[in-house]
Chains A and B, each alone.
Chain A
Amino acid sequence: MMRSATQFRAAGYSINIVGLIGFLLVFSWALVAILAPWIIPYPIGEIVDFDYFGPISDKFWLGTDYLGRDILSRILMGARYTVGISLIAVMISCTLGVALGMTAAVVGGWFDTILSRFLDALNSIPSKLFGLVVVAGIGSSIPVLIMTLAIIYTPGAYRFARALSVNINTMDFVTVARARGEGTFFLIRSEILPNILGPVLADLGLRFVFIVLLLSGLSFLGLGVQPPNADWGALVRENIGGLPFGAPAVIFPSIAIASLTIGVNLLIDNLPQKIRDRST
């Protein structure tokens, strides 16, 4: 029995220890984002310490910020903004990008050429700059941020999905389906999508990391999530004054970002073989 169990795992769905660590990091941040309001030790807006940039202590596990608010509570609540905004944005950009990419590969011709050229052009605007320009034009709010992040990363998702779909599109079973007279939508949904799903999911993870980094960068510049709300990038910005004394208030939000992005990277790099190589 033991032997057959290990054999089953070896058949492709096993995950190694590094991947497991990545998964646990990502999973625990997701949990924190959901449960934040019930697990924070202090209300996030309340000044609880007479000292500002307080050190790590029994009362304040990660110290206090520039106003004397509890940093642990603010980081836990910040997870909602960082994880939530990035997750919605990556869902939109990947759905849009993958749908367009598959359509372009199946339809081909002028539709493909024009769409590819246009999205490639969008891709050659540096992402941080795109964010700056949009925020300058219409100001920053959470829906605007989500849409901006989604638009910035759609061309990349499109390119990736299109490249995969073009390969699948030349396979015999697609030709057969075409000969049967199936429509474009059927081809995309039943022939292409199931065969590119694994790599697309891995790509979604990497794109999530890019979005977290860009969101944090924008918030750090004061152009992302606006006060009184704060995501992790905004927390670093608020407390940057504590940097010369090495205050924990500026170090721990950065560590939170790093643990999330590195966690996702570890998870993606060590995904079970079966998921990663679905298309081959």
Chain B
Amino acid sequence: MNKHVLHLVLARLVIALITLVIVSFTVFAATVLLPGDVVEILLGQAATPEAVAGLRAAMHLDDPAIWRFLQWFAGIFTGDFGISYANNMPVADLIGPRLLNSLKLAGITTVFSVPIALTLGITAAMWRGSWFDRTVTVLSIGVVSVPEFMVATSAVLVFAVYLKWLPALSFANEIHSFGQMLRVYAMPVITLSFVISAQMIRMTRAAVIETLNTPYVEMALLKGASRSRLVLKHALPNAIGPIVNAVALSLSYLLGGVIIVETIFNYPGVAKLMVDAVSTRDLPLIQTCAMLFCIVYLFLITTADIIAIVSNPRLK
């Protein structure tokens, strides 16, 4: 890695940090500075002026907003995320086990969908214009242009209602055997895999096709190289950067998908926790979950950018 590349990567990291600050400010502002008094909502019927004033003082709501923002922002880095309004537990304790569940779901989905999506994307690009390519393209465009919950409901209709292979919308918290685990994870994983695979297939296909259009691949074609040699030996090594970039970007679609999937399948993950927190207006919990999602998202897109920079042969 030379100096120029290092400089670009560092610049990208600095941008990510600045973005993180702006994002955290936006999240804080959206939940705290906007109208709608939390205290009155929390107290409900018991909102006498004295009680409101007392609770405001206890929650430090009378401090200037910028000061509260700084305290909250510092708290993110020291692991102090505040206390949940709804059940008085530290937010970190609430999120911990849920995060593990969500990561499990995301991990299994990634392990399943990345190899399948890459294979489909690369083979579609290899036989561009064939019926196979057209089917894959139409299906992936179809999945991309419908809402995630439609993918989920369709999966339920196909696998649970018509084929009767899997339970419909139940989620068992008690897992005793491998078979049970399979049945529990199958539906959410299938749905999420469809959502992110569609993106990944499209981007991988585009990346490979772009390298196939380069002069050196044309040269190899004119020399009489076979199609598979053309793709595997000449195009693919040069498309690895864009492909890894596509994978990282597609994984960021996990975040949107996971919110829907955890809700529809009643899966005890962070996204479900957050959606529930929205209905109780549990602001510290919402803020922390939102920051968590934003950090993961930022991490994925920054990684994608850095991979694109590092793998660009023109910069070497």
Contact = CB atoms under 8 A, between A and B. Distances in A.
Interface of A: 117-118, 120-122, 124-130, 132-139, 209, 213, 216-217, 220-223, 233, 236, 240, 243-246, 250-251, 254, 257-258, 261-262, 265
Given A221-B263, A251-B157, A132 B290 contact: yes
Contacts of A134: 30, 34
B288 to A, nearest CB: 11
B36 A139 contact: yes
Interface in B1-40: 15, 18-19, 22-23, 26-27, 30-32, 34-36
A236 B36 contact: no
Interface of B: 15, 18-19, 22-23, 26-27, 30-32, 34-36, 141-142, 145-150, 153-154, 156-157, 160-162, 168-169, 252, 255-256, 259-260, 263-264, 274-275, 277-279, 281, 283, 286-287, 290, 293-294, 297-298, 301
B274 to A, nearest CB: 7
A216 B153 CA distance: 14
Contacts, number: 143
A258 B149 CA distance: 11
Given A136-B286, A254-B146, 15 more contacts: A121-B26, A122-B22, A122-B26, A124-B301, A126-B255, A221-B275, A243-B153, A243-B156, A243-B161, A243-B168, A244-B161, A245-B161, A246-B161, A251-B153, A265-B145
A127 B157 contact: no
Nearest to A136: B278
B260 A220 contact: yes
A222 B256 CA distance: 16
B32 A129 contact: no
B157 A136 contact: no
A120 to B, nearest CB: 7
Contacts of B260: 128, 217, 220-221
**Chain A interface, >50% SS class:** helix
Contacts of A265: 141, 145
Contacts of A233: 147, 149
B203 to A, nearest CB: 16
A78 B156 CA distance: 24
B115 to A, nearest CB: 25
A121 B150 contact: no
Nearest to A138: B34
B32 A220 contact: no
A132 B169 CA distance: 23
